[in-house]
Amino acid sequence: MRRIIIDTDPGKDDAVAILLALAAPEELELVSITTVAGNVPLSRTTANALALLELGGRAGVPVFPGCARPMIRLPITAEHVHGETGLQGLVLPEAQAPARPQHAVDHLIEALLREPAGSITLCLLGPATNLAMALVKAPEIAPRIGEVIWMAGARSEGGNVTPAAEYNVYADPEAAAVLLDSGVPLTMLPLDLTHQVLMTRDRLLALRKVDTAAARAVAVMFGDADGNPQREREKDGIPLHDPCVIAHLLDPTLFTGRRINVAVETASPVSLGMTVADWFHVTGRPQNALWLNETDADRFFELLLTRLARLP
């Protein structure tokens, strides 16, 4: 049993990740969800997290709203990818359970100081603002974190928001720099990996045969895979970025990579948010992340469909 906190900005792929986590109660204890501004503004990411918990039959999981903007920059949202609400055509009833009044940053600090050292894994599905702010406010939490698993970055694939930068890093590069310099055990799942995990037409058809509310919700959000992608880069299928974080916890053999040094560009107007991944150890800088870059996509989707079929 791995005890996890999901930090998220739902986002359709975040939504799939949350549902996948809820479908694994034997392996994952979801302590809480913290929300952050990212794909859509904070009010929507929080509402989406609450609604998804109800969809998955777990309305009792506490949700703590966090930072409404990056550490020093203006917010950059992605409604053009995720739709106005963040859930790309999916309409869920308003959640009955309210968000908790405590700020996510303070909740992270409190939880990490309260629980045994190393017992909490943080699953980051969006910009790293909440965790970075917690590390700045209370640096003593760093050695108490069991592991951070973050969908972020790119090397061979270039960027998906600029030619150089992946969205979760670009949305708050200073937060990424704080995390990368913190010394916490860090695993990164970059676009190099997630662009191999595509919702294709055939996989969408298989998903539609899974007759659960969760599976139907995912099929709605990724209906563009049915031969009509909105973006040229997705003509072969739509990547499921964030669910890879949860899949890695459920079956670490799905993904492989190597430990490297990763740095982030925070100054250049041309390459802001670029993750400089030292794959061949040419800089001599210490290794600070496990960078995963290969996967078995068929096994990933087998896991996803099997788990979604288990939800109410």
3-class secondary structure, 275: strand
Residue 66 is encoded by which pair of tokens?
Answer: 């966090």
d(CA 89, CA 224): 10
Residue whose tokens read 């998955």: 56
Residue whose tokens read 């799905």: 254
d(CA 270, CA 266): 10
Amino acid found at 249: L
What are the helix (H) ranges across the chain? 12-22, 42-55, 79-82, 104-114, 129-137, 167-170, 173-180, 191-194, 201-208, 213-221, 243-250, 297-308
Residue 258 is encoded by which pair of tokens?
Answer: 């190597």
Neighbour tally for 227: CB within 10 Å: 9
Amino acid found at 250: L
Residue 267 is encoded by which pair of tokens?
Answer: 């100054």
Residue 220 is encoded by which pair of tokens?
Answer: 């709605």
Neighbour tally for 303: CB within 10 Å: 20
Q: Could you confirm whether 103 is annotated as catalytic?
A: no
DSSP 154: -
Report whether the peptide linkage leading into residue 11 is cis, meaning its omega lies within 30 degrees of zero.
yes
Q: Are 101 and 139 in contact (CB under 8 A)?
A: no
Residue of 103, 241, 248, 281 marked catalytic: 241
Strands (DSSP E) contained in 114-154 are 120-124, 145-151
Q: What angle do CA 105, 109, 115 make, to 5 degrees?
A: 140
Active site residues: 241
